[in-house]
Structure 1
Amino acid sequence: MTPRAGFRQVYAYEWIKFFSVRSLLWTTVATGVVPVLGAVFVAATGSLQPDDTVIGGSLTLSVVAQMLAAVVGALAVCGEYSSGTMRTTLAACPRRGTVLAAKGALVAAVLYVLALASCSTAYVLGDALLPASHPQGEPLPALFGVAASFSVAGLLGLAVGTLVRHSAGSVTAVLGLLMLPSMFGPLLGGAERWVAGISPTAALEKLTQTSDATAEAVGSLGGWPSLLLVTGYTAALLLAAATALRTRDV
């Protein structure tokens, strides 16, 4: 009798699949490149706002990169549904919760390491290229929180992808979750600061200490409490995704 694949075997299998899918690989690369290009662009154009910090200006395009991280999470599971390899995966490991846990661990780890390296590089470049007259801000421990927000966005995309199972629909849904709170917040009057603050992008903007991260624009919570809130509802969504994966056909 062939033993069932455990978490380590499934994780290794997921690692191979992750770096074998061209669209997923290039989206991951773009996630790491965009913050660095943003720092160079801000320095080259002199577009740093007078009241902005060096870390805020250096990570100007980190919000775009975070959206790409969410797309990475969605594609990590939707690509298998579109290609039909999900059936093979679940045949090799019938414990569906283990499959989702392995995917989540891989997505979170890859995005954390990538974002920490990319955003740290962007900050170092910004510190070297931007005018010294601007305040530095507090890069530590903020950069660790920024990297964590990328992982959370990727896990959010993974949860949505598991529930929706279609690439286009999942990408649209997860980008909506990131963007709609800040877009519709102004329509809700006094509730704007609370509604706008529930998006992963709000946590990211608070952590990057950009001058645009006012209470009215991205909520009144600080960067770390906002990240904790986003992590909490992402975990709840992952639990719902795990339940759906266990109870339905492939």
Structure 2
Amino acid sequence: MREFGRAVAFEWIKFRSLRSTVWTTLVTAVLPVPGAVFVAATESLQPDDTVLGGSLTIAVPALMLAAVVGVLVVSGEYGSGTTVTTFAAVPRRGTVLAAKAVLVAGLLYALALPSTAAAYLVGDALLDDGYAQGDPMPALLGVAAAFSVAGLLGLAVGTLIRHPAGAVTAVVAGLLLPSMLGPLFGDAERWVAGISPTAALEKLTQTSDATAEAVGSLGAWPSLLLVTGYTSLTLLAAGAALRTRDA
């Protein structure tokens, strides 16, 4: 347990030393609030939308940045060649990946929860009273969890691919393509689009765009559980690859 604590502390030091990772994380945390202000200022909220959904309109791009944070945490080391130092300090590679996962998931959750809550409060204050309110709790807890899961998915993809640009492209495509390609599958659109982390996020935010035809009929929390499940499997595959490959 002490070794794992040291590994997490080591990962935190490395995290703070990478400016690209720090800045991407900060933008991820800040983005939802100005997004709520923009939606209110432009009066672009649809009549059948909710205050919660409108306030978190920019949560989807922020979710993609959360996935990019996960990629950078691991691929940045491969790019700079510091993985050799990391594995020398912590020989158990599974421990290294677990420490990264705890750091990414914990940090993103701790930042996303107050950020999305603040965005909702800002939207609630600025939007007209004519919109349905939505149920912010416990939905905001799930929204913050979705950010953590996206970060872990990015971490897993970054570990598997290792190349920063390739990993970022792959994880962003994984977030976007299901909803983009879903209409091409006709009646199966709800199944194709519904597997994306962005679909789970849209259901949790209770936006009017989260129709059963577009994002599937599975509920918000089961959708989040589904995304968490295949993200966990991807992390297990990443851990197996990390133990068998050269640094």
Q: Compute the TM-score of the two structures, normalised by the length of structure 2.
A: 0.99
Deviation at 1:150, TM superposition (A): 0.2
Q: CA RMSD in A?
A: 1.0
Specify which of 214, 217, 231 is matched with residue 217 of structure 1.
214
What is the match of residue 76 of structure 1? 73
What is the match of residue 29 of structure 2? 32
Is the 1:5–1:93 Cα contact (8 Å) retained in structure 2? no
Specify which of 175, 199, 204 is matched with residue 201 of structure 2.
204
- Distance (whole Å) between structure 2 residues aligned to residue 219 and residue 29 of structure 1: 32
Deviation at 1:191, TM superposition (A): 1.1
Greater Cα offset, 184-193 or 116-125: 184-193
Q: Secondary structure of the equivalent of 1:19?
A: helix
Give unmatched runs, 5+ long, in structure 2: none
What is the match of residue 136 of structure 2? 139
What is the match of residue 52 of structure 1? 49
What is the match of residue 10 of structure 1? 7
Cα-to-partner distance string for 1:178-225 (whole Å, 9 max, x where unaligned): 011111111111111011000000000000000000111111111100
What is the match of residue 230 of structure 1? 227
- Distance (whole Å) between structure 1 residues aligned to residue 123 and residue 74 of structure 2: 35
What are the equivalent positions in structure 2 for 1:89-238 lying under 5 Å apart?
89-238=86-235
The alignment of Structure 1 onto Structure 2 pairs a total of residues equal to 247
Give the counterpart letter for 2:98 in structure 1: A
- Distance (whole Å) between structure 1 residues aligned to residue 226 and residue 47 of structure 2: 31
Is the 1:207–1:224 Cα contact (8 Å) retained in structure 2? yes
Deviation at 1:5, TM superposition (A): 7.4
Deviation at 1:156, TM superposition (A): 0.1
What is the match of residue 236 of structure 2? 239
Percent identical: 72
What is the match of residue 63 of structure 2? 66
- Distance (whole Å) between structure 2 residues aligned to residue 102 and residue 62 of structure 1: 26
Give unmatched runs, 5+ long, in structure 1: none
Cα-to-partner distance string for 1:16-61 (whole Å, 9 max, x where unaligned): 1111100000000010111111000011111111001000000000
Cα-to-partner distance string for 1:71-113 (whole Å, 9 max, x where unaligned): 0000000000011111100011110000000000000000001
Q: Compute the TM-score of the two structures, normalised by the length of structure 1.
A: 0.97
Q: Secondary structure of the equivalent of 2:31?
A: helix
Is the 1:181–1:199 Cα contact (8 Å) retained in structure 2? yes
Specify which of 36, 41, 55 is matched with residue 38 of structure 2.
41
- Distance (whole Å) between structure 2 residues aligned to residue 212 and residue 22 of structure 1: 35
* Runs ≥4 residues deviating over 2 A: none
